[in-house]
Amino acid sequence: MADGPDKDSKTEAPSQKRFNEAAEKGNTPFSREVPVFASTLAIYIYLLFYLPSGVAHLWETLRDLFEKPDQWRFENGQDIVALFIRLGWESSAVLLPAFVLMASFGIGASIFQNLPTPILERVSPKISRLSIIAGFNRIFGVPGFVEFGKSLFKVLVVGTIITLSLRSEFISSIDAMYADPNFLLSRLTADIKVILIIILFATALIGIVDYFWTQHQWFTDLKMTKEEVKEERKQMDGDPIMKQRQRSFARDLARKRMIAAVPRATLIIANPTHYAVALRYVREEDAAPIVLAKGTDLIALKIRSVAEAHGIPVFEDPPLARSMFAQVSVDSVIPPVFYKAIAELIQRIYSSKNKSRRASLN
């Protein structure tokens, strides 16, 4: 049974969610040839700028040791240890820049491709990695043939170019073995520079091709089937039935909250049963009337019934009720266009209350 969807069915470009999940698992495009090129470049820079002066200084130390041995004391074991420490420091001064350059360039090439992140999942043991079939596919699949092609190019093509480039220098190189050591060293350095330049151009070519190949292969592996795209979209958008239930629940809460706020209203604008808008205005609290609730049909009837139960005035004004319902929102002040109409209604309420007070006093 196949472990996943057929590659031919993966026709859709990977989504951002797919990219993020791959990055979290450490699945990022990485070309091994780019660090190889960077390390080769570091070796060439070292050979060009650091090695000549370092070898010259080490050669001076060794020459003093062999040509003037009387200047060195070898009376006990400590003198021998001191000599080896001296030679070790001199050798380190020559070799340490090479290690630093190679490490710096190699790490820089890796960071250039992807920032290093610790992924425990990649180092955790998995039984699936011991699969013979999976190992066979890795060796004889497309990635395996690509790696074989790169190795073959390095061995045959680069080796052939180096051989052709140095063939004319073969006899003179043998004669240089019997020449002055300084001449031999300079001749050897020149030959190594030629070899490194050839390798540098070869690794640069391979690195460029391999970088874009790994990017393409990684993108291809992350492609999705149409079913995966639909499933991911469904997960991101949520289950439609569940979202409908959530919206219905939110609407019920909003209705209950509006109905609970109706007893605090100052007046109700109705039409007469299809629309209802509950307003609150307290001169000391608000600069303009605030909409506490609004609704149509059954909700409008509920607003009216609660208002009548609490003795809140209900004004039937169909045009005003329809217009306010369309333009106002709950928990906000009314637009200025309604100030005059609502002010007249509030004035009628205050007048009615004043008449009631005077009648009770009489």
Average pLDDT over residues 312-318: 88
Quick one: DSSP state of residue 151? H
pLDDT of residue 127: 61
Tell me the per-residue pLDDT of 276-300, one tens digit each, with 9 for 90 and over: 999 998 887 778 888 888 888 888 8
> 314 with 300: CB under 8 angstroms?
no
**More confident: 262 or 120:** 262
Q: What is the mean pLDDT of residues 187-210?
A: 80
Between these two residues, 29 and 89, which has the higher pLDDT value? Answer: 29
What pLDDT score does 30 carry? 82
pLDDT in tens, 132-188: 665 556 555 666 676 777 777 777 777 777 676 666 665 555 555 555 555 566 666
Q: Round the average pLDDT of the chain to a whole number and report it.
A: 77
Per-residue pLDDT at 2: 43
Which sign does the torsion angle of CA 160, 165, 170, 176 carry?
A: negative
More confident residue, 150 or 211: 211
- CATH 3.40.1690.10 for domain 242-361, yes or no, is yes
161-173: pLDDT as tens digits: 767 666 666 555 5
Contact present, 12 and 228 (Cβ < 8 Å): yes
Higher pLDDT pick, 244 / 207: 207
SS (H, E, C) 3-50: CCCCHHHCCECCCHHHHHHHHHCCCCCCCCHHHHHHHHHHHHHHHHHH
Angle between helices 51-67 and 77-113 (to 10 degrees): 170
pLDDT for res 75: 62
Distances (CA, A) of 307 to 206, 229, 258, 311, 318: 82, 52, 12, 6, 18
Q: Which two three-digit tokens encode residue 234?
A: 């469904």
Backbone angles phi, psi at 53, to 5 degrees: -70, -35
Range among 63-77, 124-138, 183-197, 244-258 rated most confident = 244-258
Domain boundaries, the chain: 28-117+128-221, 242-361
C-alpha distances (whole Å) from 112 to each of 30, 104, 116, 207, 211 are 10, 12, 10, 13, 11
End-to-end CA distance of the chain: 97
DSSP three-state, residue 333: strand
Burial code (b: 16+ CB inside 10 Å, e: under 16) for 11-30 equals ebebbeebeeebeeebbebe
- What does the pLDDT average to over 11-19? 81
How confident is the model over 103-119, as a mean pLDDT? Answer: 79
* Most confident of the ranges 121-125, 255-259, 354-358: 255-259
pLDDT value of position 120: 56
Give percent of the chain above pLDDT 70.
72
Q: Highest-confidence range of 179-193, 225-239, 323-337, by mean pLDDT?
A: 323-337
pLDDT at 1: 39
Q: Where are the beta strands (DSSP E) in 161-287?
A: 267-270, 275-280
Map residue 263 onto helix, strand or coil. helix
Nearest alpha-carbon partner for 154 in 322, 246, 40 = 40
DSSP label of 180 = -
Q: What angle do CA 257, 263, 266 make, to 5 degrees?
A: 115
Residue 91 has pLDDT above 60, yes or no: yes
pLDDT per residue over 41-89, tens digit each? 888 888 888 777 776 666 676 666 666 666 666 666 676 676 677 777 7
